[in-house]
Structure 1
Amino acid sequence: MPRRLMACLLTTTSLTLAACGGPEPAASTAPAAPAPATTAAAPATSDAPATKPLTATPVAIPQRQGDELLLAFAGDANAFKAAADSTEQGLGEAGRLLKAADWSMVNLETALADDQEGLTKQPKLYTFLTGRAFPQMLQREGVDLVSLANNHAMDFGVEGMKRTLKIRQDSELPMIGVGASQDDAFRPWTGEVHGRQVVALVGNDILESNMDWRPRDGRPGVAMVKTEEGFQTLVDGVAAQRREHPEAVVVVFMHWGVDYQVCTTGRQEKMAKKLADAGASIVVGTHAHRVQRAETIGSTYVAYGLGNFNFYSDRASTRETGVLTVHVPRSGAPTAEWAPGRIVDGRPVMLTGAEAEAARERWAGLRGGC
């Protein structure tokens, strides 16, 4: 699994390199993840999670053409209910796909803390919490970077975010999208992969109730793009990276869309266009819990919704999953291939044969226009 030779964080204001010395690896004796918390039981539904195991047939691994980069992406991941089993069991064939890529990224949909003592759940239907063992598993399974720019990173309020930032500081797996300040939350990740620079920026467009998750007045928070000002901060960051590094692969990972809606919204499409115009090479997204369509805007590849990944799913429609591998040539627009899967007991299980082909055809036929 070839990986980056160097990785740093950039400040969005000065765009000067921050210290490149990575944090010390998390200790192998790190506490196990605490039991995930929720303010309400999962709703009863006839679409109970599947329990019958699927085939373990190995999936086809994407093949590199020439000197292109292979970047892999997957959707929402946490350790809620049955999804916690992956902390010990790993990601199976989905992990093989992530490891086969030159670099990979997922959305880490949870607050992080070693225990729940002293933490207060926010007034939400679902609150997610896990310990450092879960991101350690993601790294073992081939993930190189996670986004915490989502609507669950502050499920346990400011104190929970402080503990999340402490785990981020200790983690060998880089985490972006949250921070002690606005600049920290929007700070990009940059690294060298096979001699090419890759930059990643993230933003969360989802806000629940009247909660305010922006970092301000000395309070930590999330890279929010719900306001015009917040989104412009992200767009300006993309444009600055493109100016500074014209040959770089610029990735934007968004948290956007409408829960359980497979078609894309006009807001998603407008935001994707602005990010493409600013210089993004790849835009991917999560949040809807559904796999959504993909398209190319100019020379920018956009995959609007990657669905759930390692995630407890209480209805059949949200158990569709997959790994997206994007082929990035040195010139021209990226292309991608979708390896479909199905969530079984919270974990991604990849499809093969006729099932996989049918799922790929459905994905290719998805349209927008909600």
Structure 2
Amino acid sequence: MTYPKRVLLSEGEVERFLESDHHGDNSEYTGPGRQIKVESIGKTLGIDKSEDHNSEKVDRSDFGRSRRKTGGKRGNKKKNPAIKDSYKREKSDKRNIYDKEVDLIFGEDLTKGTTGRNSYESTGFRSIDSKSNLNHGSGSDSTVDQDRTRVFINTRQSNYSGARSERMQQSQERRETEERFSDVRSYLEEDEEEERLQRRSRWKLLLMAIGLFFVIYEIIMITLVTLKPQSGDKARSVMLQLQGAVTDKTESKDDETSDTEGETSEAATEAAAEESSEPETLTEETTTHVNESGAVFVENPVMTVEAGAIGVSEFEPVELMFSGDVYLSDHVMEAYQASGDITGVVSQAYLDEMKSADYFVANEEFPFSNRGTPEKDKQYTFEVDPSKVDMIKEMGIDLVTLANNHTLDFGPDALLDTLDTLDKAGISHVGAGKNIEEAAEPVMVSIKGRKIAFIGATRVMPEAYWAAGESSPGLLAAYDPSNLIEEIKQAKEQADLVVVYVHWGEERKEMPNEIQTTLAHDIVDAGADLVVGAHPHVLQGIEYYKDVPIVYSLGNFVFGSSIPRTALLRVTIDNTEDGSENLKLRLIPGKSSAGYTRTLSEAADKAEFYSYMESISKGISIGEDGTVSKS
């Protein structure tokens, strides 16, 4: 048997070869090339229609038994006649077919001595590294390359389908096809690698652009913060000073001509501008905040600012408001959610009173935080999510004292979160800080020409470490009142009035104990003009010591539990005939249940409340409108 010159043919050329008369007259070739429709080279060369082949019988009775449950649903399925019964046998047949195919392509009978596959590999044609090696000596090179590449790509993109045995057969055929056309693999991989590099380069550029955007954004934000050191507060303070100076000059020169008034105003403006630049009056470290009522809060009490409420003359009566303990408990949260705003927690009548005051102070009996662990061996521990700080703002509270026995329920981290939350919300705080200096520092407020200092302290702490140290966060403790007394004396030198809010006493006791009265008198002796207390969770009495009012406990105000009696304390600061400050106290009675605090509306209920307060107080009387006076 003879074959043409040894060449590598494409599938189409092999098909045409099989159907042609190239076998010669003496050819012993009896293959079926001219008898059937050729579907593939391997399939055609692998067919043997001899009698021996047809007579071969194989027992397949137990093939695949291990994968089938006897009597199961899968056993009832009809077998697809197109699927080979034995994968191993089919694989062996395919190998033989492949060997014959290779022998035919190379034009030699390579089955003698060594198999066609081994001979094919020994020729070196399998390892092709460049396009120059794709020329196989026959036919159009470009046509052969395109055909082989197309077959290889189609093989890669094919999907498996059918039963498991059919999928396994397809997988084997795919691998064999890829091996046959592996000479085009390197070029496909080069294209894929180039595409991957291009995609990676585009991603790098995108990430670099995003990073550059954030860097520019940070630079802009830092620049804005750096170039704005409390400029708004300074301008507001200067404006207030100008207003006061112009008003004074205008009132004293009513009979002068308009030209003289213009010169006076210009002189006053220059004088105020010069004063605003002096370090002892206002520095960059001094910042102020003005609330809705016109109260000016000064962060650094040593560097006070002479400022009155905008649009209001100086030395008008100042209205201060005080409440007892405030805790946003579960009952309070439920009442708030049911109504959708603070009117579900505090009645509108109370809200009107609270918001009509110039400055509202309360005792915050909890930390704002989501961190920390509860204090060990403590019966009640409180903590509120920082997002609920808006409820404090809705009540109109301007300042809170944190000096109490619950602020550190969840440790120092929770306390620091509380300070940060209040600062961001614009709510001032006293009695606690990052160290003893901050905890003892008063808050100085200028309202209608009066400078008022607020100080918070506690004599109720479950653990000694709750007291602030030189470098540790905590509270201003009053067990040893020396620090508190010193702060009061220093504040008195700079402020017109000093208010001290103290956490003390025994829970559920209506009368103050000796420790409370002694400490209260010491505070007054140090220079305080008003003393307000909390902690017993009930109301305690009122007394005057050296004409200074002492309210020992305002009890609970918003707490969640049932509160049969509560009250707001309204303090009006006015001048007496001799020019000294006069404080007028008025109680606004109420009660609370299910997280809702409301005023007493019935006259009989109010009268009963005032009578009760007189009974637990010393040397006072209360009028029909709740005004407190010395008896």
Establish whether TM, by shorter chain, passes 0.5.
yes
**Structure 1 segment 7-46 matched on structure 2, within 5 A:** 7-10=297-300, 15-16=302-303
Residue number among 350, 355, 380 corresponding to 1:94 in the alignment = 350
Shift of 1:217: 5.8
Name the counterpart of 1:175.
429
Please tell me the root mean square deviation across aligned C-alpha atoms, in Å: 2.3
- The residue type equivalent to 2:381 in the other structure is T
My pick for the range that moved more, 344-353 or 285-294, is 344-353
Three-state SS of the structure 2 residue aligned to 1:184 is helix
What stretches of structure 2 of length at least 5 have no aligned partner? Answer: 1-290, 306-314, 619-631
Residue number among 463, 466, 476 corresponding to 1:213 in the alignment = 466
- The residue type equivalent to 1:202 in the other structure is G
Instruction: Decide whether the 8 Å contact of 2:297 with 2:444 is kept in 1.
Output: yes
Aligned length, in residue pairs: 307
Structure with more strand by fraction: 1
Name the counterpart of 1:6.
296
- The residue type equivalent to 2:565 in the other structure is E
Shift of 1:86: 4.2
Name the counterpart of 1:76.
325
Instruction: Decide whether the 8 Å contact of 2:436 with 2:471 is kept in 1.
Output: no
Deviations 1:100-157 (A, max 9, x none): 11211000000111x34xx211121111111234432222222111111111000001
Three-state SS of the structure 1 residue aligned to 2:316 is coil
Instruction: Decide whether the 8 Å contact of 2:386 with 2:418 is kept in 1.
Output: no
Distance 1:304 1:241 in 2: 22
Greater relative contact order (CA < 8 Å, ≥ 6 in sequence): 1
Residue 6 to residue 333, structure 1, CA distance change in 2 (3 Å): closer
Residue number among 420, 438, 445 corresponding to 1:166 in the alignment = 420
Structure with more helix by fraction: 2
Deviations 1:170-218 (A, max 9, x none): 221112211111010111111111221111001011022x442012263
- The residue type equivalent to 1:96 in the other structure is D
Distance 1:155 1:112 in 2: 11
Residue number among 124, 131, 143 corresponding to 2:397 in the alignment = 143
Name the counterpart of 1:126.
380
Shift of 1:363: 1.1
Residue 329 to residue 86, structure 1, CA distance change in 2 (3 Å): farther
Three-state SS of the structure 2 residue aligned to 1:323 is strand
Residue 138 to residue 89, structure 1, CA distance change in 2 (3 Å): same
Distance 2:519 2:336 in 1: 33
Name the counterpart of 1:334.
583
Distance 1:150 1:190 in 2: 21
Instruction: Decide whether the 8 Å contact of 2:437 with 2:470 is kept in 1.
Output: no
Distance 2:572 2:295 in 1: 20
My pick for the range that moved more, 91-100 or 68-77, is 91-100
Name the counterpart of 1:274.
522
Is it true that 1:185 corresponds to 2:435 in the alignment?
A: no
Instruction: Decide whether the 8 Å contact of 1:301 with 1:333 is kept in 2.
Output: no
Distance 1:214 1:345 in 2: 34
Is it true that 1:250 corresponds to 2:498 in the alignment?
A: yes
**Structure 1 segment 272-351 matched on structure 2, within 5 A:** 272-313=520-561, 318-330=563-575, 331-351=580-600
Instruction: Decide whether the 8 Å contact of 1:135 with 1:173 is kept in 2.
Output: no
Is it true that 1:360 corresponds to 2:613 in the alignment?
A: no
Instruction: Decide whether the 8 Å contact of 2:360 with 2:398 is kept in 1.
Output: yes
Residue 304 to residue 174, structure 1, CA distance change in 2 (3 Å): same
Distance 1:338 1:151 in 2: 26
Distance 1:198 1:192 in 2: 6
